[in-house]
Amino acid sequence: QVQLVESGGGSAQAGGSLRLTCIASEYPYKHSSYCLGWFRQLPGKEREGVAAIGTDGSVAYANSVKGRFTISHDKAERTLYLQMDSLKPEDTGTYYCAASSRVAQIASVPAATWFDIWGQGTQVTVSS
C-alpha cells in the first residue's frame, strides 16, 4: 500500500512563506502517467484543489493561489513540493497531497474525486 506523508506545515505571518513536502513510500503507480496534487480544507469549507502537476510537466493552480504558490516534483526522490509565498490568513487550513492514475495531462486542477491516494494532511496557520 503506497503511503503519502506530508510535512512542512506550521505557523507563519501574513506575507511569509512555508514549503510543504510530500514523500511517497514508493512510486504510486506502475505505469508512468499520473498526476500529483495539493488540496486544502479550510475551516468550515469543502476540500479544494490548490495545485497539480502531471507527468508531462503540465501544472495548474487554483486562482486563489496563482502567482503565490509553486508546485514541483522530484521524481527520483518520490517527493512533491508546494512552495507557498505571500501567505494570507485565508490560506489557513489542512493541506493534503494526493495522487491519481486517471489523470496525466492537466489544464486545471482536477477534482478531488479523481485522486485515489491521499496523505494524512498537515496544518498551515497564517496569522495577520
pLDDT per residue as tens digits for the range 4-40: 999 999 999 999 999 999 999 887 666 667 899 999 9
Dist. CA 47–CA 40, nearest whole Å: 6
Dist. CA 7–CA 20, nearest whole Å: 6
Type of residue at 95: Y
Query: What integer best gives the mean pLDDT of the chain?
Result: 92
Q: What pLDDT score does 31 carry?
A: 60
Dist. CA 37–CA 79, nearest whole Å: 12
Task: Tell me 108's DSSP state.
Answer: S
